[in-house]
Structure 1
Amino acid sequence: MSDLIYPTVDLFLYALKTSLNTTDAETQKNQAAFLEQLPSDTQFYDPDIETEYLEITHPPQINFISQNKTLEGYYYAVRLNDTYGLQIDCSINNQTETQPAKSFAILKTEIEQKVNKELTIIGKTWLLSGWLPENSSQNHEDIAKDCYYALFKDTYWQPDKGTFLDGKVFEVGRSQYINQSLKNATSSLNSNEYDVIITIYNNRESAEKSAEFYKDWMGLFCYRSKISWAYWQSRLVKESLLNHYKQIEENRKITNQSNSRQEKQNITTSRKILNNIDNILQQYTIDLLNLSFQKQIIEINLSNYQLRLALIQEKAGQNNQLDFLEKFSALANKKYLPQITKDIENMQLGLQLLEDTINATRSRIEAEKSEREHNFQELVAVAGASIATISLVREPAKDCNKDIFFKQVRFFCDYPFSSSFIVGIIVGFVVLWLRKRWRS
């Protein structure tokens, strides 16, 4: 038997109101999407001010109506700086009789029906709780395990453990998406990603006292969600940077292959390649700044997370052990931040290489342009000499009987135009030879 009194499920979910480069229209759209989670007659108040914690509905706690009369619950919405937070609470409306662990599945289903699937969230945490009947001999972990599998049947039970208000607390799934592929990183946060905390209290008094910590959990889970979200955003940005780098390398290889074969690219083609590299480099630079921005988000929220956790531990008292929540701080300090720092250093080196590639390509284009201009000048000089010679020879050739030279060469008298043209070509080649000899 895994029976508890007053089983309760709380879902804490978070959505960004504003983010990097968010327009006013996008901010309003995010706000409208968040409002879809609440009843249509909700009195909503969200002034355009910077605030660490703001209750944005009146009343702050809004009871919801369920078709299942055995259930009760409420919404609680806040804004934490640039992020909306929503707590949806649902309980079995009976504080005297024990309920089986499978009743948690009913509560979870009720909550999920009230969540708008179109909302893009950055994180969510399920908080399950209840208290043992008097003189119960049930094992806390066995009950927690049954409660967990009532909600999530496809995950291996491997919890972190602690104590809270004389009860036993278990956490599962915090690092669930660390091993997920980047391809599924954003979609999984909206569906399969979750963090579950289960607290089995020894009595009603401890369970009722735990309600005083809901606001603290709201802040703590928010900071954790933003850290995880920022880390995964950094992975996506890194992937984008690598793709940009590969594209520039492909363009660079095209020009290098042409040079190795001693081919001269069309200037238009070369300029097209240079423009492609320039455009990609702009995106690369933006992504590199975004990577640094994600690092700052982690640093700020990690500091807030540690401060909030310290306040919770102080508020809960010395007999509580919440050390398992500090593992997330260690994860962020030892994995997230060093990884992003190393990525930024590597990508900055890549930026220097890309800039060198652009400079080399630009120099090559200028050299080709200069050579083509010089060749054009040669052509003009040769053509000018030829045309001038043709003009000078053609008129005397027409009147060959009066000219002693042309009298000796009958070809000039018979074919004056052709003869002058041939002489012009010969002169042109002589001029070309002399100019090349002079250049060398």
Structure 2
Amino acid sequence: MSDLIYPTLDLFLYALKSSLNTTDAETQKNKAAFLEQLPSDTQFYDPDIETEYLEITHPPQINFIPDNKSLEGYYYAVRLNDTYGLQIDCSINNQTESQPAKSFAILKTEIEQKLNKELKLIGKTWLLSGWLAENSSQSHEDIAKDCYYALFKDTSWQPEKGTFLDGKVFELGRSQYINQSLKNVTSSLNSNEYDVIITIYNNRESAEKAAEFYKDWMGLFCYRSKISWAYWQSRLVKESLLNHYKQIEENRKITNLSNSWQEKQSITNSRKILKNIDNILQQYTIDLLNLSFQKQIIEINLSNYQIRLALIQEKAGQNNQLDFLEEFSGLANKKYLPQITKDIENMQLGLQLLEDTINATRSRIEVEKAERDRNFQELVAVAGSVIATNSLLQSPAKDFCSKESKKDIFPKIPYVCDYPFSSSLIVGIIVGFVVLWLRKRWRS
């Protein structure tokens, strides 16, 4: 039977207070959502200052009254720069008798009843712990496995292993977003994503010493959550950039149509295309900056993660193996950062393509505008010549046809005299065509 003394379950939750382009109203909303996790009479203190680690309640540790009287627990809330962190601790209120592994299911139920389901998280970590009875014959891993399946029945047991304060440590579920669709990369309290660390200590002394590391775990899990969150946010941004790229290609196809008269785009259509591309350019540029921002988040928090892990290792002493925590640094260095860097380089090429498309469209508009202006000028010239000719001929034609003197040298022309306006108009049109022909000949 898998028994532990004083089984304890801790849930570490992390939610952003503010992020890129967060308004004051959104920041206050995030703050209010986080406060909903705490008792209504909590004395909350969160000054508007930058701080690496700030306890934001008084007292820092707030005991809660469990529904199950055999349990005990507390809240512990902090702010780490722009992120809220909350530890909810719950344990069996008995430090002398062994408890079955299924006790962790009771602890989890108690914790989940304390949560506000609406809080949107960037990460969460479950920490299970307890110590072995003196007469225990089971291995650390068998007990840890039973404790894990008491909470998560539909998953497989494939842990990373290490040692801590002479106890055995097992970690599971680190890559919590890998199997999700990009559309569903949203961590919430009612989701099935999790990160689990199980520590089985050999005795009470080791377990009590381990309690001194809770603040260190709070910081370490926060940095890791922000790294993973930033990476998967970068995947969403990349998907958005690719969608912009597809729109660019669609507009390029429109602007590269054949120049035949039937397929030539009007100035109005070309300007509409240019406006669409300008809008895409604006969104594309914002997304590209956001991609660089996510890279910076990873770099900053990776540095903090490495520093915090080194402090934990120094504080714990030599007889500890936390290599599985160091592997996460390797994952960020070898996969996350190189991938985002390559994406930024590729998307910058897309930005150049977009700018080239805008220049080509603007050139097309200028050509079309110049062509339209030239046609209009020719129309004005022809119309002017027709009107001028008509005006000049109309009066002389009347005089010519009204002469009654026998001394007339030229005989009257019947059509011209009968229809003087039409006759002068015909002559004007002929002159107009001559003017049009001369302008085209001169232009060629």
Q: Aligned AA for 1:60?
A: P
How far apart in 1 are the matches of 2:41 and 2:201?
A: 36
* Structure 1 residues 56 and 394, CA gap change in structure 2 (3 angstroms): same
Which shows bigger deviation, 389-398 or 237-246? 389-398
Give the match for residue 167 of structure 1: 167
Cα distance between partner residues in 2 of 1:133 and 1:315: 26
* Offset from partner CA, 1:144-173 (integer Å, 9 cap, x none): 111111111111110000111111110000
Q: What's the secondary structure of 2:185's corresponding residue?
A: helix
Aligned match of 1:432: 436
CA separation of 1:40/1:188 partners in 2, compared to 1, >3 Å: closer, same or farther? closer
* Equivalent position of 2:417 in the other structure: 413
TM-score normalised by L of structure 2: 0.96
SS at match of 1:177: coil
What is the one-letter code of the residue matched to 1:402? K
One-letter identity of the residue aligned with 1:414: D
| Structure 1 residues 370-381: aligned runs within 5 Å | 370-381=370-381
CA distance in 2, matches of 1:172, 1:419: 99
1:299 aligned residue = 299
State the Cα deviation string for residues 35-76 of structure 1 (Å, max 9, x = none).
000000000001111111000000000001112101110000
Distance 1:267 1:420, change over 3 A: same
**One-letter amino acid of the structure 2 residue matched with residue 433 of structure 1:** W
Give unpaired runs (5+ residues) of structure 1: none
Q: 2-side partners of 1:405 and 1:21: how far apart? A: 92
Structure 1 residue 397 displacement after superposition: 2.9
The residue type paired with residue 330 of structure 1 is: G
> Residues of 2 paired with 1:153 and 1:410: CA distance?
111
Deviation at 1:378, TM superposition (A): 0.5
Which residue identity lines up with residue 298 of structure 2 in the other structure?
A: I
Counterparts of 1:115 and 1:241 in 2: how far apart (Å)? 36
Opposite residue 334 of structure 1, the aligned amino acid is K
SS of 1:309's equivalent in the other structure is: helix
Inter-CA distance 3–437: structure 2 relative to 1 (3 Å threshold): same
SS of 1:297 mapped into structure 2: helix
Whole-angstrom CA distance in 2 between matches of 1:260 and 1:195: 62
Contact 1:125/1:194, CA 8 A, preserved across alignment? yes
- Where structure 2 has 5 or more consecutive residues not aligned to the other structure, the ranges are none
Q: Spell out the pairing of 1:343-382 with structure 2 (5 A cutoff).
A: 343-382=343-382
Counterpart amino acid of 1:412?
V
Using the TM superposition, give the Cα deviation of residue 246 of structure 1 relative to its aligned residue in structure 2, in angstroms: 1.0
CA–CA distance in structure 1, aligned partners of residues 432 and 411 of structure 2: 25
d(CA) in 2 for partners of 1:407, 1:227? 103
Matches within 5 A, 1:265-280: 265-280=265-280
What's the TM-score, normalizing by structure 1? 0.97
Q: Cα deviations across residues 285-316 of structure 1 (Å, max 9, x unaligned)?
A: 11111111110100010011011111111111
Deviations along 1:83-141, whole A, 9 cap, x unmatched? Answer: 00000000011111111111111111111111111111100000001111112111111
Q: Distance in 2 between matches of 1:9 and 1:134?
A: 22
The C-alpha deviation readout for 1:366-425, integer Å capped at 9, x for no partner, is 111111111111100000000111112222333414396984421111122222221111
User: Residue 53 in 1 paired to residue 53 in 2?
Assistant: yes
Distance 1:218 1:379, change over 3 A: same
**2:390·2:428 contact (CA, 8 Å) conserved in 1?**
yes
What stretches of structure 1 move > 6 A for 4+ residues in a row?
403-406
**Displacement of 1:207:** 0.9
Paired residue secondary structure (1:179):
coil
Superposition pairs for residues 103-122 of structure 1, below 5 Å?
103-122=103-122
- 2:281 aligned with 1:281: yes
**When the two structures are aligned, how many residues end up with a matched partner?**
440
Letter in 1 for 2:48: D
Structure with the bigger percentage of helix: 1
Q: Give the percent of matched residue pairs that are identical in Structure 1 and Structure 2.
A: 90
CA distance in 1 between partners of 2:242 and 2:189 (Å)? 24
1:327 aligned partner:
327
Give the aligned partner of residue 99 of structure 1. Answer: 99
Taking the TM superposition and a 5 Å limit, the aligned residue runs for 1:34-433 are: 34-187=34-187, 191-259=191-259, 263-399=263-399, 400-402=401-403, 407-433=411-437
Alignment CA distance shift 1:306-1:87 (3 Å): same
Read off the aligned partner of 1:181 and give its amino acid letter: S
Cα root mean square deviation, aligned: 1.5
Give SS of 2:256's match.
helix
